[in-house]
Amino acid sequence: MSEATPLTQLNEDEQLFRSTVREFAQQAIGPLARQMDEEQHFASGLLPQLFGLGLMGIEVPVEHGGSGGTFFEAVLAVEEISAVDPAVGVLVDVQNTLCINALLRWGTVEQQKKYLARLATDTVGAYALSEAGSGSDAFALQTRAEERDGHYVLNGQKLWITNAKEAGLFIVFATLDPSAGYKGITAFLVEKDTPGFSVGKKEDKLGIRASSTCELILEDCHVPKENVLGEPGKGYKIAIETLNEGRIGIGAQMLGLAQGAWNYAAKYAQERKQFGKPIAEFQAVQFSLAEMATEIEATRLLVYNAARLKDAKKNYIREAAMAKYFASHVAERVASQAVEIYGGYGFVKDYPVEKFYRDAKIGKIYEGTSNMQLATIGKLVLSGVK
């Protein structure tokens, strides 16, 4: 794209892709969103549809059964799905921006051949880094890996793992040598049916309730040497670089959420009448919707810019942190204002904005809290000041 081309302008292929995903989300996901939220259960019938449409392997090369698409297209998919249900959006996001990206960058030829085809066609992926004592301090993890008789034995517990219930493949981070600090951390590809591996408690969450968030338990979990992702001791590098990409995905999820909440609020404002006319004709409501729309467009520019930079193989770390930070704050503000525009109806579960408001809160927390994003942004913007 030339410098004069607006970042939000899409080429014909991107427009077609976006419209296809939007139609699918509205027709296939929309009718199930409330039920999935209430039951805290991801509708199993949706998974084959997501795979069939190619949304679970967007960047996977065609020779491995994927769509051969771009990171930007993955971002578009997450945005459009999240405008209908952010819980489904995060499942697609983790699959594409974390699991598949990690394999594309760090996987051996054999690993890519074996696992990318599965991730693109029928297997959900999960990313297991967090533990009870390692959240923002991600590398304080206690899960141990011990080399033994030509394989590794993993012991420990992981918490808050997205997609855990649906996943068949997990990228698990463990430390080979605690005394080496972050240089002892190693990433492993662990299949769900590996002996010693089990999915534990499913968390009862405030929002994105259809998305499974579970603990993982590793008790003498035997992993073959060929399932080390990257190199032993390089797990910290894989985690950092993958999460930088993932933050753009979370930015897209929050962008879609904000747009979905705005769409409902704007429509309701034109239908709801008070004092003999639609509330959209009152200046206060117009100003609220205008402010929301402006913040959403600013978010879209930040998210799209970071995604375009990533596809262009340019440095995007600062832009990814800015996109994730800003998008999560905008999503919460817009969802809150949408509830207020609905008035009393916005506070009850019969209307969709209440769910958007609950779903928005996680944006400031996972894949790097807002404070961690500010720390990254501050360090990078100040590095160029003389």
Give me the active site residues, please. 367
CB-based burial, 130-145: b 16+ in 10 Å, e otherwise: bbeebbeebbebebbb
Neighbours of 358 (CB within 10 A): 18
Tokens of 262: 């705005």
Is residue 133 helix, strand or coil?
coil
Angle subtended at Cα 29 by Cα 9 and Cα 60, rounded to the nearest 5 degrees: 60
Neighbours of 149 (CB within 10 A): 7
Angle subtended at Cα 276 by Cα 274 and Cα 277, rounded to the nearest 5 degrees: 75
Give the Cα separation of 50 and 189 in Å (integer). Answer: 23
Give the Cα separation of 96 and 119 in Å (integer). Answer: 9
Tokens of 321: 């942190």
The full DSSP string for 312-379 is TT---HHHHHHHHHHHHHHHHHHHHHHHHHHGGGGGSTTSTHHHHHHHHGGGGTTTS-HHHHHHHHHH
